[in-house]
Amino acid sequence: MVRSQTTQSFVARIWLERDAGKEANWRGHVQHVQGGEELYFQSFAEVCEFLERVSGVSAACLDMAAPRPVAVPPGGDTGGRKRKAGG
């Protein structure tokens, strides 16, 4: 079987947002480098749909049926890593 491969580039920025109830959810922004299309997203399912739409390739994505909140320790501990100022 011969595989056809084309390379496409995407730039993604992903961060955690904490709501008033102290639950954290992943949010982000992804941009298709070649075409300039971009998406601000609130779930990884949205990213999968975006990748399929701009690439024209339908691919199996990770199980994204239900978003799962991320537990963030009190005080937003980063596990000993320093945060970049202003970010």
Per-residue confidence (pLDDT) for residue 82, from 0 to 100 = 47
Domain total for the chain?
Answer: 1
The boundaries of the domain holding residue 38 are 10-65
What is the per-residue pLDDT for 18?
86
Contact 24, 73 (CB under 8 A): no
pTM of whole model > 0.75? Answer: no
Q: Is residue 72 part of a domain?
A: no
In a domain, 70, yes or no: no
Place of tokens 């298709």: 32
Distant-in-sequence, close-in-space partners of 34: CB < 8 Å, separation ≥ 6 = 8, 9
If one counts every other C-beta atom within 10 angstroms of the C-beta of residue 42, the result is 13
Q: Beta-carbon neighbour count of residue 30 at 10 Å?
A: 19
Per-residue pLDDT of the chain (87 residues), as tens digits, is 666 667 889 999 999 988 887 788 889 999 999 999 999 999 888 999 999 899 888 877 755 545 555 566 666 555 544 444 454
